[in-house]
Amino acid sequence: MEPKLKSSSVIKRYEHNPILSDKDIPYPANLIFNAGVAKFNGRYVMVFRNDYGYEDGKGFEGTNLGLALSDDGVKWNVQDKPFFSMDMMDDSDVLRLYDPRLTVIDGELFICFAMDTRHGVRGGIGRISDDLQNLEIISLSVPDNRNMVLFPEKIDGKYVRLERPFPVYSRGGTDRFDMWISKSPDLKYWGESELLLAVENVPYANDKIGPAAPPIKTDKGWLTLFHAVDRDESRGKHGWEDKWTKRYTAGIMLLDLNEPSKVVAMSNEPLIAPEEVYETDEGFRQHVIFPGGMIDEGDGTVKIYYGASDTVECLATAYKDELIALCKESK
Ligand code: BMA
């Protein structure tokens, strides 16, 4: 029997979840999920992943990134064309961009994304123009790396990012991937890399972990969401695939304000675990909670945006103080 994981009681899911799905999209769309969200120039901006053109037995035709805007973070207006599609890229090595995260730094909007290429998965950082029409790529990692997120301000004069390289050869040939942190003087050249949090530090993970949303600054530290994966070979069909043995949950921790490579406290239980029908029984890959955005509303609450079942985009809210209280001091 797989252990039952429950969401923390401090999490309140939006009662009309999902907030965005394929039926809201004015161009071909099948799976709308794993969005990045930021408050930028007075409104909420969302860049979401769209896997489109599904054909039975063949899979998907492609992936593009869509753009949606909102005044309240709940109801979204989707722009009539994708924000990014492969015809905008003239590098034949690149296969797709996906899983965007958005961070505003000094009034500019930045995006992190994963980029599949014919020679491995690269983590990318780009700048989005103020009119939200253009993406300028600033930096691309060597393979394999993804799940990058940027902190919303420089710390000690340097930009900081969380990331999740995925070494296979040196780690037994299977998933066993941890969270790392790196620093940069200019968003282009990255270094001072350190291990931040390892799979074995997360009691409800046995497979891999990765960054989720840009951290939020609090007086107790950087409030930081991540995703955690546990695998159980006895799991069978979940969704469109015959075998899907992983479960994705969301976790929460606090990083030191001045030295964010130090985890000061963490919750020993998942923050969000798959429970609702759109998380467990519907969709492409069930039992997947994949957060990509956490917005500080300035009134003591946060909005958390997460992809559910790799199929729809959902919203949950929580009080910042209650999230902080979940994080127990680490030894
Ligand atoms: C990860 C990424 C995510 C996806 C998740 C669950 O490896 O590919 O985009 O949401 O798997 O399928």
Say if strands 120-128 and 135-140 run parallel, antiparallel, or are unpaired: antiparallel
Each of the 331 residues of the chain gets a pLDDT tens digit; together they read 456 899 999 999 999 999 999 999 999 999 999 999 999 999 999 999 999 999 988 999 999 999 999 999 999 999 999 999 999 999 999 999 999 999 999 999 999 999 999 999 999 999 999 999 999 999 999 999 999 999 999 999 999 999 999 999 998 899 999 999 999 999 999 999 999 999 999 999 999 999 999 999 999 999 999 999 999 888 877 677 788 899 999 999 999 999 999 999 999 999 999 999 999 999 999 999 999 999 999 999 999 999 999 999 999 999 999 999 999 876 4
> How far is it, in rounded angstroms, from Cα 2 to Cα 285?
17
In the prediction, which pLDDT does 56 show? Answer: 87
Three-class DSSP labels, 143-201:
CCEEEEEECCCCECCEEEEEEEECCCHHHCCCCCECEEEEEECCCCCCEEEEEEECHHH
| pTM over the 0.75 mark | yes
Question: Is 53 exposed, middle or buried, given 0-12, 13-18 or 19+ CB atoms closer than 10 A?
Answer: middle
Give yes or no for residue 288 CB within 6 A of ligand 1: yes
Q: What amino acid occupies position 67?
A: L
Cα–Cα distance measured from residue 10 to residue 26, given in angstroms and rounded to the nearest whole number: 35
Whether 238 contacts 279, CB under 8 Å: no
**Which atom in ligand 1 lies closest to the alpha carbon of residue 288?**
6
Amino acid 3: pLDDT: 62
**Which residue among 163, 305, 310 has the greatest number of ligand 1 atoms within 8 angstroms of its CB, and so is best to mutate?**
310
Q: Is 161 in the pocket of ligand 1 (CB under 6 A)?
A: no
Test site for ligand 1: of 177, 285, 311, most ligand atoms within 8 A of the Cβ: 285
Q: Which of 281, 277, 292 is nearest to 32 (CA)?
A: 292
Residue 13 pLDDT = 98
pLDDT at residue 68, as a whole number: 98
Give yes or no for residue 99 CB within 6 A of ligand 1. Answer: yes
In angstroms, what CA-CA distances link 139 with 242, 243, 311? 37, 36, 29
Residue type at 196? Answer: L
**Amino acid type, 241:** E
Tell whether ligand 1 has an atom less than 6 A from the beta carbon of residue 290: yes
